[in-house]
Structure 1
Amino acid sequence: MDRSEKAAFVAALQAVFAETSFVLVSQNKGLTVADATKLRRQMNSAGATYKVAKNRLAALALTGTSFQGISPLLKGPTALAWSKDPVAVAKTAVEFAKGNDKFVILGGALGKQTLNADGVKALAELPSLDALRASLLGMIQTPATRIAGVLQAPGSQLARVFSAYAKKDEAEAEAA
């Protein structure tokens, strides 16, 4: 890479860091090309990006961003992963790390909050953004259906009472 390519790479990473909410730092010491390709495909299917970057250039790109706290993690053969959905990146990385001991999660940053490997694993256990949206929507809709049921209940109870009086009156009229 010449100087202009490096500057363009740093600018591109800074633009990515400005748009994303979560960055994961992993170590890929001894990861085969096939495994790296598999990981990239899994990340892409989860809506995330996985990129191996030179540590010095990545540290330059992190300068001045909210993710500056992960700069100390950039030692050795590292890679970065990011997405707008932080849980998707964490889940994909944790699942891949379970099956491949050469892929190690070093940590990450969720906004200005720096996470260690355990923090990333805890983040991976959370439900995804889509699952949270679905449960929130369900919670919003549930009170509306309950309110409708409560409002309909007095009317149906009155109808039953009137029906019972009508049947009682009919039975008395038939008996007389």
Structure 2
Amino acid sequence: MNKETKKELVAEMHEKLQRAQAIFAADFRGMTVTQAEALRVELRKANVEFKVFKNTLLEIASKGTDKEGITPFLAGPTAIALSYDDPVAAAKVLSKFSKDATTPFTLKAGVLTGKTINPSDVQALADLPSREVLLARMLGSMQAPTSNFVRVLAAVPGGFVRVLDGIRAKKAA
């Protein structure tokens, strides 16, 4: 690979690192091509890009981004997962694959919004409910006081109507 090609690859990776919300590094030593492709397919569903990139070039590309914290973990065979939308979804897929893999696939670290996280933090992130579930819970919490207030307001006229009906029934009897 010549110098120009390397510069183009570094520039492209730098742009991807800037766009990514999170990056996860993993040791893929011993993975078969079939396993790697299966992982790529699962990650693609979550809008995550899985790449094997030369460590020194990745270190250069990460300079000037909030993903620089990953550089101490770039030793040995390293694959990276770039999450562009939902870091929780990426962490879930990687964590599940790490548990289910027959070959040793270990997460090294991650960088989420400029903060370096260790493998146990990635697992904690994977244990979080999905973004949609969290949004639904938050919306439910926000709507609960309003719903209760509407029920109370609706109960007042309802009670008044029942009292009037009771008076009507008493007078009719």
- Class of the TM-score when normalised by the shorter of the 2 chains: over 0.9
Gapped regions of structure 1 (runs ≥ 5) = 172-176
Query: Which deviations, in whole Å up to 9, do the C-alpha atoms of 1:125-151 show, x marking residues without a partner?
Result: 111222212222222233332221111
1:44-55 → structure 2 map (5 Å cutoff): 44-55=44-55
Q: By how many angstroms is 1:23 displaced?
A: 0.6
Larger Rg: 1
Report what 1:88 is aligned to.
Answer: 89
Amino acid paired to 1:6:
K
Report what 1:174 is aligned to.
Answer: none
Whole-angstrom distance in 2 between the partners of 1:2 and 1:85: 35
Quote the RMSD (CA, aligned, Å). 1.2
Report what 2:31 is aligned to.
Answer: 31
1:73-152 → structure 2 map (5 Å cutoff): 73-83=73-83, 84-100=85-101, 101-152=103-154
Query: Which deviations, in whole Å up to 9, do the C-alpha atoms of 1:83-139 show, x marking residues without a partner?
Result: 121101110000000111421100101112111111111111111222212222222
Whole-angstrom distance in 1 between the partners of 2:111 and 2:132: 21
Q: By how many angstroms is 1:48 displaced?
A: 1.1
Gapped regions of structure 2 (runs ≥ 5) = none
Q: By how many angstroms is 1:42 displaced?
A: 0.7
Q: Which runs of 4+ in 1 moved over 4 A?
A: none
Whole-angstrom distance in 1 between the partners of 2:132 and 2:61: 30
The two structures have a TM-score, normalised by structure 1, of 0.93
- Look up the SS of the partner of 2:150 in the other structure: helix
- Look up the SS of the partner of 1:102 in the other structure: coil
Identity %: 36
The two structures have a TM-score, normalised by structure 2, of 0.94
Whole-angstrom distance in 2 between the partners of 1:140 and 1:118: 32
